[in-house]
Amino acid sequence: MNTDCIFCKIAKKKIDAQVVYEDEDILAFKDIKPQAPVHYLFIPKKHIETLNDIRREDADMLAKILLAVREVADKEGVAQGGYRVVINCNRDAGQEVFHVHVHLLGGRGFSWPPG
């Protein structure tokens, strides 16, 4: 665990978050600066800084994150209408917290390109 990483602290329950999903490998919680009516972050409990740092042994965990995204999108009622899944990698892409995380955004229309 990176002792300065806010997401590691959330995963270890040292910082409160509004958790919407949890299993042994991943945690999902409400984003504190939501960009849509539904905006959750899905993180591996294992510290991985960026998508560039993912290894083959992380493949099952990443698949579990996407399955959890689908489950939460369905539970929140945005699966049928549509939702967006975003992973930012490094500063130029908008990554602010250097712990891999997947954004689930829904509950409103989105345009393309995103930004």
Q: Which of 39, 47, 99, 101 is catalytic?
A: 101
DSSP string of 27-54?
EEEE-SS-SSSEEEEEEESS---SGGG-
Q: Clarify whether 47 is annotated catalytic.
A: no
User: What is the chain's alpha carbon radius of gyration, rounded to the nearest angstrom?
Assistant: 14
38-44/102-106 β-pairing: antiparallel
Taking a C-beta distance cutoff of 8 angstroms, is the pair 72, 104 a contact? yes
- CA dist., res. 9 & res. 16, Å (int): 9
Q: Catalytic residues, which ones?
A: 101
